[in-house]
Structure 1
Amino acid sequence: MPPQSGTSVGKPETDSDLAQLFTWEEVGLHSGKKNSKQERWLVIDRKVYDVTQFYRRHPGGNRVLSHYSGQDATDAFSAFHKNEDLVKKYLSSLLIGELAPDQPSCEPTKNEALVQDFRELHEKVKRMGLLKPRHSFFVFIFLHAFLLDIAAWLTIWYFGKSWVPFLIGIAMFTTAQIQYGYFQHDLGHISVFEKVKWNKLWHFIVLAILKGGPASWWIHMHNQHHAKPNCFRKDPDLNMHPFLFSLGKALSVELGKKKKKYMPYQHQHKYFAVLAPVAFVAYVQMIIFHYAIQRKKWFELTTTMFYNVRVCLMYIPLMGFKTFMAYYWLARLLESCWFLWITQMNHIPMNINYDQNLDWVSAQLAATCNVDQSMFNDWFSGHLNFQIEHHLFPTMPRHNYWKVAPLVKSLCAKHGVKYICKPMLTAFADILRSLKVSGEHWQEAYLHL
C-alpha cells in the first residue's frame, strides 16, 4: 500500500525514511491566511518547512515568507539566494517533513513541464557564469554617478545660482540620484559582489549616505515586489491602489461594484503624469521615517538625518535656504518622474490581480514586459528595460541580461508563454492606455445598477 500522508512510514533506515510525508493539500492548509498566529508552511525542493516562528526574523523581510506560506517556494528560494547550500543549513531546524512520493514536484495547478524546464535553465545559467559580476562595469556605474553628483555642486559653487547653472546643477544632481538608485538596486539584489556582506555594506553606503534612505526598508519592500509582482496586498508597489489609481481590470471592477470612489478614476490617465510623481515624493519621505521609527531602526534613522544635514551644509551656504529648497525638491520631483515612468512601463500595462499562485515563470511573465535594447535605453533605465530577465533572475548582474534573453525567449516560445518586448515610447504610452482602460472598467462597474 502507498504511504499515508502526515505519518512516518516503515522501518527507518535513512533520514528520508524518518521524514513525515505530506500532500500539497495539507501544505496549503497552513498558509496563515486566517490569522497571524496560524501555522505557516512552505515547500522547497519537495521538503516541507514550518516557518511559523522564523518568518518574522527572515533577513529578507518577514512578509516574503508569509506571502509564500502554503505554497511551493522552490524557485523563489533559488532566485533570491546565491549560496543555496549555505542557506539550507539554517533551514534544517525548520524541516518537518517532505512531500509524499506520489505528489508532483510542484503544485498540481502549475505547469510542471515549464517549471522543470526553467529549473534546468537556471542551472545552465549558473554553469555559463551569468550570475557572476564584472566589477569594471559596476566601477564605471558608480563613478559616473559620483562624478555627476560632485559636478552638480561644483557648478553652483563656481558659476553661482543664476538660472543657467541652477538648471544644469539640477539636471546633474537628478541624474546622479537616479543612477545611484539603479546602483543601490544592483547592490540590494546581491549582484555586484560575490560575497553577500560586501553587497550589504555598499548597499548601506549608497542608499543611506548618498541617497538618504534606510537599506532595510528597501529590502523589506522590494523583495516583496519580486516575490509576488503585481499581486494586490502582496506587492507593496501597488500601495497607491485604490487611493489614487484603479489598477487592472479585476481590481477596478471590484472597486466599482463596491461603489468606492476615492478619485475620479475615469480620468486617471490624465492626472497620472502630474499626481503620481508628487504623491510618490511625499510617500517616500513619510514612509522611510515611519518605517525607521516604527521598527526602531535608530542607526538607519540617524544616517538618513545625516544625509539631509550633509546636503544642506553643502548647498545652503552657496545659494541660500529658499533657493536650495527649490533646487532640492525640483530635483527630487524630476527624479520621481524618471523613476515612475521607467518602473511602471514594465508593470502597469501587465496583469494586476490578487495572488493566483502561478508558477515562477508564468507569474513573472504575467507581471513584466521588456523594452527594446539600445545603449541609451540600457543607461536611461538602469537595464530595467530587461525587466523579464531581471525578475526571473534577480541576483543576475544587469550586464548579463542581454545574454540570457534569447534563452528565456526560447523557453517561453516552447511553452506558449507570452514574452512581450516593445519600444520605450510605446511602453510609456501603454501606461496611460492601461490606466484609461482600467478607469473605464471601474466607471462601468460603478455606474451599473
Structure 2
Amino acid sequence: MLDDEIGVREVTMTEHFAEMFTDDDFDILLLIGGYGSGKSFTGFLKTAIKATMEKRKILVVRKVYSTIKESCYEDLKDGLEIAGVLDEWKFIKSPLEANHLTNGSKIIFRGLDDWRKIKSIKNIDYIIVEEADEMTLEDLKELRKRLRVKGIKKHIVFMCNPVSRASSIYRMFFTKDEGFGFNEEELYKNRKLKKIETIQLEDGTKETITIKVHHSIYKDNLFLPPTFIYELESEKDPRLKRIACEGKFGADGDLVLHNAVFEENVFERYIQNKIFKENYYRGVDWGYSKSYATGLKMAVNESLNELYIYWEFYNRRMTTRELAKGMEPLKEDNVKIFGDSASAQANADFRDEGFRIFPCGTKDRTYGEQMLRSFSRIVIDKGRCPKTKKEVEECIYKKDKYGEIIPGEYNIDPHSIDTMKYGLSDRKYVPLKERRKDRGKFVGA
C-alpha cells in the first residue's frame, strides 16, 4: 500500500513491489521479469509519484519514437490517474510532454531513432527506459551520459523482459567484461540484487554508484485476469515459457539447434560401452585474441541418429602452449581432431604438440548446420559443457527484411556450434530423404 501522506491515493500491490515506491537508494535500477509481472506498471507509477512529490525533469525513452504514444505516454497517464494526481498535470501532444501545474516538474517523451533531439535536452535528472532490450549497448551508455545535473540525486530506470543473453541489457548487467557482473542464477533465487561500485576520476575524485536489479514474474501481479494466467501456465514452447512465465533469460526466436537437449552424465549413459571408437569425433575452433578457442568431444549413435557432446574446452587469450595443455584430453583414444581450416598455423602448431589434428575442409557454410539440424537429438552434458549449453540455448537465426531466416547467419558468434561442424566434417552426412529405411541396426558394443 502507498501511504496517503505523500498526497496520492492508496494503491494495493504485492510486498515484492510495494517497497519500490519508497526506495530511492539507487543510481541505476533494472526492473526485469516475465510477461504481465507488473514491472512496467511499477516503473511508471513510481515515476508519476516521484515527479508529483518533487521537482524533476524526467526523460521517458523507447528505441522508436512512433511506439511511445500508445505505450509509455498512456502508461504514465495511467500511473498519474491511479495515484489520483492526474488533474495536477497538463499534457502536450506535440511534442509529447507533461508538465506539473505547480512544482515545475516536466516529463519529456523521446525516441532514440533521433539522437539529436535527445542531446538537445538539458538538465535531465531522471530517465526511465521502456523495452530497454531494444537498445544497443551504446544507446544505454549514451543515456547514462545524459544525467549531468549536479546537486540532486539522479536516477535511471531500465525495464524489459529477459530475452537473449546477447542483448544489451544482459551484457550491461550480467557480464563482467562489459557490465556490472551480476549473477543471473543468484537473481532468480534472491529476486533482488544490489551492488555498490566506486569510481575514481583522473583528478583523484571518488564517487560511489549504487546499482540494483529487481526480478518479477506474473505471480507478483495481483491484477492479471485468469485467462492470461492460464495462457502463461499452459505454454508448451519451453523457450517462450522460460521468458514469459519464469522470467528468465533465453532465446527469443528461431533456434538454430532446435533438437538440442541437456542432460547429466552423457558419456556414462549413452557412450561408454555402447558406441564404437570409430564413431567418436573431436573438433576445435581456434578463435582469435578477442574470441574464444573451443574444443569438444563428441560421439554419434548412427542407429538412433543422435549426437552426444560430453566434454568441452572454452577459453581465450591463451598462448599455444596453454591451449595445448587445456585441450590435452582431446588426444585420448587417438581420435582424429578437425580444426578450423582458416587457421593453418594453429593446426600446424598443435601437430607439433602431438595432436592428431587435420583441417576441416571447405564445405558450404550451411552444410554443417544442416547436418546438426538433421540429428533426431543433440544431447549435451549440461554439467560438463556449460558454455556449449549456453550458446546452443541462445543461438537463433538472423532474419531478412521479410522475416525469413537466413541460413548460416546468427545473433551470436557460436564457437561451440562451429566446433561441432568442424569436428563432424569427416562424417558422411546423408540428407533425411536419401537415408536408407533399414537404420535399425544398433551401432556400438
TM range (shorter): under 0.3
What's the TM-score, normalizing by structure 1? 0.25
Where is the helix percentage greater, Structure 1 or Structure 2? Answer: 1
Q: Larger C-alpha radius of gyration, 1 or 2?
A: 2
